Amino acid sequence: MSKKRTQYSSEFKAKVALAAIRRDETIPQLAARYGIHLTQINSWTGPLILPMCRWRKALAIWLPSWTGIPVKC
């Protein structure tokens, strides 16, 4: 009999994704702490990083001195 797939709440996904973006720990360390696979963390951070990159580029146009969130775009 196959194992039922684990469904994570959106709060849990957001908590893990924000920890990955803040770079408190490396992705493998976060995966070990929360017991999930590396690719899940990367897939959860993607939807958060793209809007941040768009905002960062827009703010750089409006406020050239703005340093912003250190995100690789």
Distance between CA atoms of residues 65 and 44, nearest Å: 30
Amino acid occupying residue 72: K
Q: pLDDT, tens digit, for every residue of 49-69?
A: 766 666 666 666 666 555 555
User: What DSSP assignment string belongs to 48-65?
Assistant: HHHHHHHHHHHHHHH-TT
Q: pLDDT, tens digit, for every residue of 12-54?
A: 998 898 888 888 789 999 999 999 999 998 888 877 776 666 6
